[in-house]
A and B are shown apart, each in its own frame.
Chain A
């Protein structure tokens, strides 16, 4: 069974600095998707970034980028120029690539606090 592990329960970063959140996963599949979701205090889950496993190039969305290491099954999120609004719980998630009916497998989450 697929598992997703986030080994950092809590992290903090100073405003304007860079922080990296770790995520590892376990799968025997070759085709899958990986996601980072943000859950601010308002509780709504917001997609931050996604990565298709077949793409070697790391995904980037403005200040957010990933370091996808397929062989190591690692999918870390880098937040550059951290802002106070980045304070949230961040979840890494895995999805099967074929025949997926919408099932995302989430990690335990990392609480990120951005300090002024």
Chain B
């Protein structure tokens, strides 16, 4: 069964450093998403991306965050200058159609754990 692949599985970084989390969505999917889950808390929406543009972003997704689809397969989340509170599990997801199309669901990756020291 096709799956969403995320790397790295765990990254430890110093506060203030830049981090790039990588995702390979399912190949025929056109819509891409990032969510995050701070330890012990609920999963939160960060951003959705379609046709090389951000479709929607949450208030969490401030100027220090950016997303990119640098080639035909990868979808990346960059955090420019990490803060302690960015420590979380970051989940990438993809879908073939918009969520509102009815039969569609998101397929999530296994997550990238980010630890900021």
**Interface of A with B (CB < 8 Å)?**
33, 35, 37, 42-47, 50, 52, 91, 93, 95-109
Contacts and interface: CB of A to CB of B under 8 A. Distances in A.
Interface residues of B, number: 28
A105 B33 CA distance: 13
Given A43-B110, A44-B110, A103 B102 contact: no
A105 B43 CA distance: 8
Interface string B49-83: 01000011010000000000000000000000000
Given A100-B100, A101-B48, A50 B105 contact: yes
**Chain B, interface SS category:** strand
B9 to A, nearest CB: 9
A102 B56 CA distance: 8
A36 B92 CA distance: 18
B56 A91 contact: no
B55 A91 contact: no
A102 B99 CA distance: 5
Contacts, number: 70
Contact of B99 (A37, A47, A100): A100
Given A43-B89, A101-B55, A106 B99 contact: no
Contacts of B93: 45, 102
A14 B35 CA distance: 33
Contacts of B95: 102
B105 A47 contact: yes
B56 A44 contact: no
B44 to A, nearest CB: 7
A42 B58 CA distance: 26
A102 B111 contact: no
B43 A33 contact: no
A103 B105 contact: no
A42 to B, nearest CB: 7
Contacts of A43: 89, 110-111
